[in-house]
Amino acid sequence: MTSHSISARAWGLMALLAVLWGAVFLSVRIALDESPPMTVVAHRVGWASVVLWAYVFARRMPLPRGARVWIGFAGMGLLNNVIPFSLMAWGQLYIPSGLTSIFNATTAIFGVLVASLLLADERLTRRKAIGVVIGFAGVVIAIGADSLREFDITSLAQLAVLAGTFSYAFAGVWARKMLGGLAPQVAAAGMLTASTLIMVPLAWYVEGPIRLDLTPRTLMALAYASLGATAMAYLLYYRVLTLAGSGNLMLVTLLIAPIAIVLGALVLGETLPPHAYSGFVLLALGLVIIDGRLIDRIRLPR
């Protein structure tokens, strides 16, 4: 299915998914004012797992069985939730939420590289290689010359966010190898359950008891991050995947950062330096080249 054949309903759901994921950077940043990073992540994955299991049981979907499946859930929980969510939440203590969202878009760049190294059917073509190089150039520009010259806590925070996107890339490969054949909603519920079993004791040990006596603002931010941007977004993601196809989900990736930047500016008063926007433009160009469909349409005879 190509982008011009997407139905109006699919476009609407894709826009909603972009808003859900774009706003999570704002909600996490708000929650960080009162809760430490690992605790925020524990809340996010814990409540989301409850909602997804309720969905699975309500739909009477087949439940996973066997040790291999739960090993798959554990690996996926680490790579797709525990590591990236924690690194990005910590990074947001020191860099704006909009900049975090820009770096988050590098997930697709790392995904192409990791898949080409670990999956036999994901060859790194010349077009993809060009897109990766341009995308990485965008990342370097977004980081900024000052951060490259003078390594400080801001530089470390940016690298932490990028490390989180690198973890996402490995999660994609892990899912293909270990969770094939499962209903995606069941896989998401199992992954979040494994994430919760890791994150709750880890956050408790590192940051202290997980509190619920929080201000309404923090509770609302945590509720959104967990129920809206995680549980609902996962369910919506698979609906969009069915309606629009995996290729068109690249469009969602390109929309997330602008939404996060606007929300950060409106709600938190964040401002980003010009080089961050220039870097995102290059990064977006790299993603478009990797996707390839726009280039193919330009080449078609008129």
pLDDT over threshold 60, residue 225: yes
pLDDT at position 77, please?
Answer: 96
Assign 9 a pLDDT band (cuts: 50, 70, 90). confident
pLDDT at position 66, please?
Answer: 82
Residue 107, number of CB atoms within 10 A of its CB: 22
pLDDT at position 4, please?
Answer: 47
The 3-state secondary structure of 223-292, one letter per residue:
HHHHHHHHHHHHHHHHHHHHHHCCCCHHHHHHHHHHHHHHHHHHHHCCCCCHHHHHHHHHHHHHHHHHHC
pLDDT over threshold 80, residue 147: no
Mean pLDDT of 79-86: 96
Mean pLDDT of 164-178: 91
Assign 247 a pLDDT band (cuts: 50, 70, 90). low
Within 8 A by CB and 6+ apart from 270, the residues are: 96, 97, 98, 261, 264
Mean pLDDT of 140-148: 81
pLDDT at position 3, please?
Answer: 46
pLDDT over threshold 70, residue 178: yes
Domain of 229, in residue numbers: 3-299
Assign 121 a pLDDT band (cuts: 50, 70, 90). confident
Task: Give percent of the chain with pLDDT exceeding 70.
Answer: 94
pLDDT at position 2, please?
Answer: 46
Do the beta carbons of residue 145 and residue 279 sit within 8 Å? no
Mean pLDDT of 158-167: 95
Mean pLDDT of 255-263: 94
Mean pLDDT of 192-201: 97
Look at 16-20, 54-58, 105-109 and tell me which has the smallest mean pLDDT: 105-109
Mean pLDDT of 73-88: 96
Backbone angles phi, psi at 265, to 5 degrees: -70, -45
pLDDT over threshold 50, residue 1: no
Question: What is the Cα Rg of the chain in Å?
Answer: 19
pLDDT at position 70, please?
Answer: 92
Mean pLDDT of 211-231: 96
Number of structural domains the chain divides into? 1
Kindly report whether the global pTM for this prediction surpasses the value 0.85. Answer: yes
User: Rounded to whole angstroms, how far apart are CA atoms 157 and 173?
Assistant: 25
User: Rounded to whole angstroms, how far apart are CA atoms 278 and 260?
Assistant: 16
Backbone angles phi, psi at 42, to 5 degrees: -60, -45
Assign 297 a pLDDT band (cuts: 50, 70, 90). low
Query: Which range in 28-42, 162-176, 237-251 is most confidently predicted, on average pLDDT?
Result: 28-42
